[in-house]
Structure 1
């Protein structure tokens, strides 16, 4: 974690944000955790997996 995040957290403690902003941040964190849990439980969809490209053909002169 970078020092910038520590400064941001300290600012939140000194000047707490409004309840709507706290709710928004908690909702975003919850959505991220939900996506992570579903991905771990169900697995990554094959349709979203990128195709591996072969190495380009190198011609030696």
Structure 2
């Protein structure tokens, strides 16, 4: 393990993040999961799909 990670973990143990920061991170994770669930249930819309070249280049 990188010593930098150990220093960061010790800093977090001494001064944990605020409740507002934890709520923000959890809110972002929930929003991402909701969007992924909607995409999984409904599917990817055709208007968001790029019309690409078969070789992988995007044609303009």
TM-score for both structures, normalised by structure 1: 0.65
Gaps of 5+ in 2: 56-60
Structure label with greater radius of gyration: 1
Number of aligned residue pairs? 49
Gaps of 5+ in 1: 56-61
CA distance in 2, matches of 1:14, 1:40: 40
Cα deviation, residue 32, structure 1:
0.5
Deviations 1:3-61 (A, max 9, x none): 7xxx3x83544431111100100000000000100000000010000102255xxxxxx
RMSD: 2.1
